[in-house]
A and B are shown apart, each in its own frame.
Chain A
């Protein structure tokens, strides 16, 4: 899929504005949705905000969820830079979580995070190499790999060989708990805020530096912007794709590690987070850039944290997914807003891009 980024984001001309417009419209729509079912939308939004930002406790929840979303979002965004659509962050996250849970039995947390990243990297590398060597479309292969990971980990490893107690009884309790030294350190007693959030921000800054300031990052972007042109320029496109996909997987694996080491403290029997799919939303709303992804991650983390309090007005927390989904629907189709932008800022397009370019299409 050459020029994937361009295809997705270019029509917007201005990803920031279309993201803001999309998020605003989706918030308005969800406000109306709450009102339409006879509930008090103001109270609902009040709970949403207080659940996200009202004090150290909620703030810690927001931070935890944001950290994971930033990482899975970066995972998808890094894959975008080489022109691949990584729908497999969920599977990579699962392997990362499992690796962290296993390593957590014997190692301190930094090593556990390395293990998580490595496991995710392997699961991210696979679709990369399948694409490069066998031409398997990554959208299909990552979907398949997600389900392979889900079934192998949940249906077999965690239920069987790695189950706590090792008894023959059907265990839904997950793996043995990890050692105390493997727990992510927390900063405050009354909040679950741990090192995950600052770590995610540091990683985001690192990704920004990698993509915009290093030659390697430039080569990745060149491969994503025009694979054939990059190849003809001597860049080994296949290798760059595999590298970026491994990094993409590592980021998602790291997110899984944060979840296990920070909050679960073991690999639970049921661990269907959906964070991997949310990462797609975060990366898309974030315009595929590191900074945008970090901002979008924090925003959706706050929505997710706040949504748990929506239950107080009788709304299921999955309402957060609705807001997120609508935002993506709107970001996905930036042309919806184009007439609006055209009115706001009537900037004449450069003549060169509109005059017919008499070149021969393949």
Chain B
């Protein structure tokens, strides 16, 4: 399997040269990063050219890289005050920035070639604009329709050229994009039935956010490449 992917990788490198950047993978998967301006051109080529033949779009996934690599507990140092179970929370600010970090929002496409039996992953960052915007691939793979609506709903990424970009999973009249990292897990509003008014009403949430298990990042030497080689050799 690995050799076949290397052949595919060299074909992609030869065909698209500077337009794509390969991302290394620990589990034998092929991932490429590309600029959003080239997306349509590259996606069309990947679908139509016989060498690639990625006729199926398996999945479109939005990713918010806002808090990538941040943890709630420091684990690299000793402490003289001890660790507490409590976690200091960052205050939640809803995104009103004029510009985003260019590597904040990404849209990830999983492609599948039934003919060659290959999988390929493309990652496209949406750039600095607020709201993030990217070209739609609905015309290339019709199945992208709902997947892109989902990314729009949950991350607020706009898809240029999408025929029907409505919210899909959240409630009618929902405010915000819940899968962004700055959107609180407990949400902003809660719903209840108000007997006096005789209808369902929205109120600000009454529960407190809590952390049961803090997020920690440990440098684990078991996975470092040099140690693995020494052990196997």
Pair from one complex: no
Interface residues, chain B, with chain A CB atoms under 8 Å away: none
Interface residues, chain A, with chain B CB atoms under 8 Å away: none
